[in-house]
Amino acid sequence: MNRIMVAGEASNVGKTTISLGIMAALAKRKLKVQPFKVGPDYIDPSFHRFVSNNISFNLDSWLLSENTIKYLFRRNAKDKDISVIEGVMGLYDGFGVDKDNGSSAHMSKILKTPVILVIDAKAMASSVAAKVLGYKLYDKEVNIRGIILNKVSSKGHYDLLKEVIEKDVKIPCVGYLPFNKEETLNSRHLGLVPAEEVDNLKLKVNSLVKKIEKYIDLEKIIKISKSKEKIGKINNPIKLKGYGDGLKIAVAKDEAFSFYYEDNLKLLNEIGVKLKTFSPLKDESLPKDIDGLYIGGGFPEVFSKELEKNKKFRGNLKKRLDDGLPAYAECGGLMYLTKGIKKLDGTFYKTVGYFDTISLMTKALQRFGYVDVKVPNWEIKIKAHEFHHSKLKENNKLNYIYTVYKKRNGKINKEWKCGLSKKNVLAAYPHIHFYSNPVYLKKLIDKCREYKLGDGKIENE
């Protein structure tokens, strides 16, 4: 399996832009490109899909076991010509100070993947060699096979940098990009703006591809990708074949709700669930013939005015939930099921009104990072991730089902309650990868099965 990882020395060095450019340039050559993203990111994969015309999958060594990662990678990369894995943050940045837990470096070792390292070379000369050497020596098991220099001032500048790196560090430079503000993608509080919201994205990608083809040696990158190291064959770690046979689950999919681990959706299909999509922005009602709902995260606050206008859909959804339809909602989905969203400027927009609280947008990030989740009612623990600029308005009517905690050096240093439960609906801020604990998925599927058979219990009345 041909594969490379594009990693950065740090965040904001052009890793995403260069990854996208390489994917698009390879796809232009009629290669079947399989994109991946290290870490719990939903936005970069939307760009990956746009430029490669293939679904991008997340790889996360904090959420998932090494064998699960190998299985998912092999399954999703088969029948493709080359896989391009975009790293996360800096090469060695992982969970806390553990470089072998959640980092790009760790993922490269798990998947035995050669690394192309992106270096910010603005205003640098020979000192760049010291920087690259540090990354090479910090973990000799990480196979750094090429360097791309970003924000280079001229061809002469690149030649100088290339010479000192290759002479003193013995890692080849495979190209560079000149400093260009036009290629910078706009940012928002959750990272990068989703692909569907970027104006003239096709034109911007075409412009980027021309620069990649001009300044970066794609043939050398393809050669580096032909790793001789094998990833051992791993059997499917989840034994749920047929567990969802006959069930139909509707998934919210539109501009407001698009944050899903693609492996979650693929797994639901594989166990027999038939997925239908719906749009809280555009549809008048839910699909009638369904046994459950899945409402992922996104940016409901950005589309709060449009969501409020669709009063007919909000009413239909609330009635179906009141009547016992099972639903699972994450982050933005949770916000949508409250009474409304209050924005920073004080404006308030009504949402579904299923839970007796409102979502308050905040300037400060409320939760960020990996968390452990206990679900006492189900006697299970799950690894998850949170990232949100909102919080719920507290009141004594809220019934929390999760205990969430963060660890440092193996000890719990923060703990809080989260996850609203009412009737057959569970909604919470943490994003959960179903492969992290299949028992959690089974519990959700069981609830849909009970509803379909007509004996689902209406809990917490």
What number of other Cβ atoms are within 10 A of residue 394's Cβ?
8
Could you give the CA distance from residue 314 to residue 268 in angstroms, rounded to a whole number?
26
Residue 197, CA atoms < 13 Å, CB-side half-sphere = 18
Closest alpha carbon to 24 in 57, 49, 59, 56: 49
Residue 437 makes CB contacts below 8 A (sequence gap 6+) with: 380, 381, 382, 383
The helix (run of H) or strand (run of E) holding residue 369 is strand 367-375
**Counting every residue, how long is the chain?**
461
Report the alpha-carbon angle 157-159-160, nearest 5: 65
Closest alpha carbon to 180 in 156, 161, 204: 204
Token pair of 427, please?
């909604």
What number of other Cβ atoms are within 10 A of residue 120's Cβ?
20
Q: Is 125 helix (H, G, I), strand (E, B) or coil?
A: coil
Closest alpha carbon to 298 in 324, 262, 271, 335: 335
Could you give the CA distance from residue 146 to residue 128 in angstroms, rounded to a whole number?
14
Q: Is 33 helix (H, G, I), strand (E, B) or coil?
A: strand
The helix (run of H) or strand (run of E) holding residue 402 is strand 400-408
Catalytically annotated residues: 331
Q: Is 442 helix (H, G, I), strand (E, B) or coil?
A: helix
The helix (run of H) or strand (run of E) holding residue 407 is strand 400-408
Contact between 10 and 87 under an 8 Å Cβ cutoff? The reply is: no
Closest alpha carbon to 382 in 251, 264, 222: 264
Token pair of 399, please?
């019934």
Could you give the CA distance from residue 43 to residue 302 in angstroms, rounded to a whole number?
15
End-to-end Cα separation, the chain, in angstroms? 53
